[in-house]
Amino acid sequence: MKDSLCAAPIAFETLIEYWLGELPLPETERIDEHIVQCGQCAARLGEIVALSQAIRDVFRKGDILVILTPNFLERLISRGIQVRQYRCPLNGSVACTVTPEDELLVGRFEVPLAGVTRVDILSRRSCDDAEHRLSDIPFDAQSNEIVVAPSLARMQRLPSHDHFVRLVAVEGETERVLGEYTLHHTAHA
Amino acid sequence: MAGSPADTFVTEADLARCIAQSVPGRATEAETTLYRRYAPRVRLFGLRHLRDAQAAADFMQQVMLVTIDQLRRGRLRDPDKLGSFIFGVCRAIMLELRRGGARRKRILEQYQSDLAAIEPVEPAALDGDRVTRCLQDLPERERAVLVMTFYEEKPAHEVAAILGLTPGNVRVIRHRGLMRLRQCIAGSEAVP
């Protein structure tokens, strides 16, 4: 006995909205019933659940660089995540490190964001001298702060070095420097 | 060549009839097929409403036990409506869970050993290294929205509030990010 083809498959986007609790109650109840009765749509919902779990797992392991916001960071801290954070004043520098006990490493860069619509991050490390650019990063303009969570796994492997960071506002074809920062990273002994 | 147990039952109504017409506990093959077919769906329903993997697994077990108990007792009047019947059990158990009911405890004690031998149905986990690479290849904005959305499974309006965006904008970024992520994980297409 095989799953029969669904006569009225639920759109992937609608399944995401259902999973995240964005739909009104009648629509939620309709999909509740459909999921129990339809193996095909249940399998697609299962895919969303697996993706959601995988994204959480990757973030918790600190394997990826993510731009966060101060609000989201506060939520993580309130959930008991062991966060090592460094605040970098505008055009300033800070000494930093990372230890095996840390669950999240965060750089908080003070920057004036009023009227800014797009921010790019340019960075260079003294240990490899390669320049990197992160384009069109998300930010909350009201916070006047950019929060960067680098890959913890990568940071734990790097030797002591200086990390030069420049935040630029992109306006059409032109760029305006918002702030420049230096992080003096000492590798954990 | 013998078919799998699932091939024995042509329709879901066949399954329901077989369980109802057998001596209670003797329709092992039909009950196993029913469990393997419906338990993953019931688990998803439980996860959606309980937001806890263990609670959803318990819920799934309870729903399947009550369903089989009811089928053995011939409580399903129209075998063609097996799916609707199971959905009704889901709703009733969810309501009872929220009230902290006692019936489920009695049924669990009575029948749990019947289903203990059936392999639990777990969804296949994704390849963590591949997900990491694919997430890292996404544009910053999409990666951030996906992490902020799925870390705590928050709706668009809550993510929008912490990012200073509109909910509509978050939905668009989220959709684009998920599509790219799925394509990348499936390996069918490189992330542009």
- Whether the CB-CB separation of A41 and A33 falls below 8 Å is answered with no
Which strand ranges, in their side-by-side order, compose the sheet holding A93-96? A93-96, A174-185, A161-171, A119-125, A131-134
Which candidate in A64, A120, A140, A145 is best for mutational testing of the B interface (most B CBs within 10 A)?
A64
Question: Which candidate from B7, B128, B162 shows the least CB-CB separation from A140?
Answer: B162
More confident residue, A122 or B100: A122
The pLDDT > 90 percentage for chain A reads: 85
Q: Along the 192 residues of chain B, how does pLDDT read in single tens digits?
A: 444 555 566 688 888 888 888 887 788 888 989 999 999 999 999 999 999 999 999 999 999 999 999 998 888 889 889 999 999 999 999 998 887 766 656 655 655 556 555 555 566 678 889 999 999 999 999 999 999 999 989 999 999 998 888 999 999 999 999 999 999 998 854 444
pLDDT at position B18 is: 87
**Where do the domains of chain A lie?**
12-60, 62-185
Place of tokens 């591949």: B130
| B35 interfaces chain A, CB cutoff of 8 Å | no
* Residues of chain B found within 8 Å of residue A45, distances taken between Cβ atoms: 44
Candidate CATH numbers 1.10.10.10, 2.60.40.10, 2.30.110.10, 3.90.1150.10; the one for domain A62-185 = 2.60.40.10
pLDDT at position B191 is: 46
Residue A2 scores a pLDDT above 60: no
| A164 interfaces chain B, CB cutoff of 8 Å | no
Lowest mean pLDDT among A131-140, A154-163, B116-125: B116-125
Lowest mean pLDDT among A48-57, A67-76, A117-126, B28-37: B28-37
- Minimum CA–CA partner of A120 in chain B: B140
Report, as an integer, the average pLDDT of A87-94: 97
| Position A41 confidence tier, pLDDT thresholds 50, 70, 90 | very high
Q: How many CA atoms lie within 13 A of B74 on its CB side?
A: 3
User: Residue B173 and residue B152: Cα distance in Å, rounded?
Assistant: 17
Q: What is the least distance, in Å, from the CA of A70 to any CA of chain B?
A: 8
Question: Which candidate from A1, A56, A142 shows the least CB-CB separation from B7?
Answer: A1
All domains of chain B in start order, with CATH: 5-116 (no CATH), 128-186 (1.10.10.10)
Residue type, B172: V
pLDDT at position B190 is: 47
Question: Which candidate from B150, B163, B165 shows the least CB-CB separation from A55?
Answer: B150
| A71 interfaces chain B, CB cutoff of 8 Å | yes
Question: Which candidate from B44, B87, B139 shows the least CB-CB separation from A45?
Answer: B44
